[in-house]
């Protein structure tokens, strides 16, 4: 039987809009966005960039992301989707202030298929922040999730480095959002309270260069505007970085094939960005990219992540 680990999934409200969805059966969003950009991208096999320079389309993208999050980001909806698609484990990536490690931990107590990274609370004094992260590790956190845009913390901030060093020194992986994009619509009270530049790939390349012995997972394989995957692959090759892993969220068949060539078949892992990236589409892209090599398929879908997460 096929085994699958989704290395990039989100439970709950990522957008800090005070919508508690993790433990609700469903959340009735006040509209169904049209067009649903994520649905369209999935149907076409993620054959175009997610982020393009079009303001109206980007507003549609934010609507669609919030719709998927609020109606499909609850625990029961997530477990139903995992069961339907045969997902063995899914790694929940909390993003403060909207979603927390404690929510994910409670979810994993209800269903052990949920694995959890944790997220640094940068509003706390550094020592208190680190004490909380240490407790999270003891309670089962598999790694650290950073989202400089939503958390509005520069990747050059010493607080972020302190959190990374705690996990890196313990040999635990660090993943960060990559991609320069807004998360709130123009009429949201949260719009303008974060800096989308913090998602630029060059920040993450700086971190990898500063901490070459740490295990890094640049989300979305470096970004999703076009060209980031190739830039990341060239940097990894030029510097000889051995501990950079990538995941397949928001990537189509051709990109995944290229990803395997750039980073090696032992460093590519299945990821979805669920609920924005539904399993029905994301899984098909990986199956197409690896379909003629069952061992490669096993590595990308399960074995590489299992090794990294010490499962």
Contact present, 197 and 221 (Cβ < 8 Å): no
pLDDT per position as a tens digit, 144-200: 999 999 999 999 999 999 999 999 999 999 999 999 988 888 888 888 788 999 999
What domains lie within the chain, and their CATH numbers? Answer: 5-14+25-308 (3.20.20.140)
State the pLDDT at residue 30.
57
- Out of 57-61, 207-211, 239-243, 246-250, which region has the weakest mean confidence (pLDDT)? 57-61
Q: Are 270 and 247 in contact (CB under 8 A)?
A: yes
| pTM, to two decimals | 0.95
């Amino acid at each position: 039987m096929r085994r699958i680990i989704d290395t990039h999934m989100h439970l709950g409200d990522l957008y800090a809009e005070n919508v508690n969805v993790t433990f609700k059966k469903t959340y009735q969003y006040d509209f169904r966005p049209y067009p649903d950009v994520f649905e369209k991208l999935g149907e076409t096999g993620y054959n175009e960039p997610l982020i393009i320079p079009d303001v109206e389309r980007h507003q549609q993208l934010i609507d669609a992301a919030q719709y998927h999050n609020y109606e499909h980001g609850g625990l029961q909806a997530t477990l139903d989707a995992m069961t339907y698609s045969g997902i063995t484990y899914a790694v929940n990536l909390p993003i403060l202030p909207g979603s927390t490690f404690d929510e994910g931990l409670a979810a994993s107590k209800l269903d052990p298929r949920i694995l959890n990274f944790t997220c640094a609370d940068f509003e706390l004094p550094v020592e208190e922040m680190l004490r909380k992260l240490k407790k999270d590790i003891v309670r089962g956190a598999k790694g650290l999730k950073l989202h400089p845009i939503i958390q509005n913390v520069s990747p050059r901030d010493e607080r972020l480095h302190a959190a990374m060093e705690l996990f890196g020194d313990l040999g635990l992986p660090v993943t960060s959002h990559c991609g320069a994009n807004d998360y709130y619509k123009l009429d949201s009270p949260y719009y303008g309270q974060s800096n989308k530049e913090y998602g630029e790939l060059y920040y993450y390349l700086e971190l990898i260069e500063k901490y070459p012995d740490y295990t890094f997972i640049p989300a979305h394989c470096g970004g999703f505007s076009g060209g980031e995957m190739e830039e990341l692959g060239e940097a990894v090759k030029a510097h000889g970085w051995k501990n950079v892993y990538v995941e397949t969220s928001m990537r189509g068949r051709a990109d995944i094939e290229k990803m395997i060539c750039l980073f090696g078949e032992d460093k590519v892992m299945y990821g979805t960005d669920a609920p924005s990236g539904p399993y029905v589409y994301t899984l098909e892209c990986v199956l197409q990219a690896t379909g003629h090599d069952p061992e490669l398929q096993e590595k990308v879908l399960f074995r590489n992540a299992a090794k990294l997460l010490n499962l």
